[in-house]
Chains A and B, each alone.
Chain A
Amino acid sequence: EVQLVESGGDLVQPGGSLRLSCAASGFTISNYWMHWVRQAPGKGLVWVSRINSDGSSISYAASVKGRFTISRDSAKNTLYLNMNSLRAEDTAVYYCARHVIDDSGSKFDPWGQGTLVTVSS
Chain B
Amino acid sequence: DIVMTQSPDSLAVSLGERATINCKSSQSILYSSNNKNYLAWYQQKPGQPPKLLIYWASTRESGVPDRFSGSGSGTDFTLTISSLQAADVAIYYCQQFYSIPYTFGQGTKLEIK
Contact = CB atoms under 8 A, between A and B. Distances in A.
B102 A105 contact: no
Query: Which secondary structure dominates where chain B touches chain A?
Result: loop
Interface stretch (A12-20, A43-51, A69-77, A81-89): A43-51
Given A59-B101, A61-B101, A108-B95, A45 B50 contact: yes
Interface in A80-121: 95, 104-109, 111-114
B82 interface: no
A121 to B, nearest CB: 27
Interface string A45-67: 11100100000000101100000
A113 B49 contact: yes
Interface residues of B, number: 25
B106 interface: yes
A45 B101 CA distance: 12
Interface in B73-113: 93, 95, 97, 100-107
Interface string B39-51: 0101010001111
A112 B102 CA distance: 18
Interface string B8-42: 00000000000000000000000000001010101
Interface of A: 35, 44-47, 50, 59, 61-62, 95, 104-109, 111-114
Interface of B: 36, 38, 40, 42, 44, 48-52, 55-56, 59, 61, 93, 95, 97, 100-107
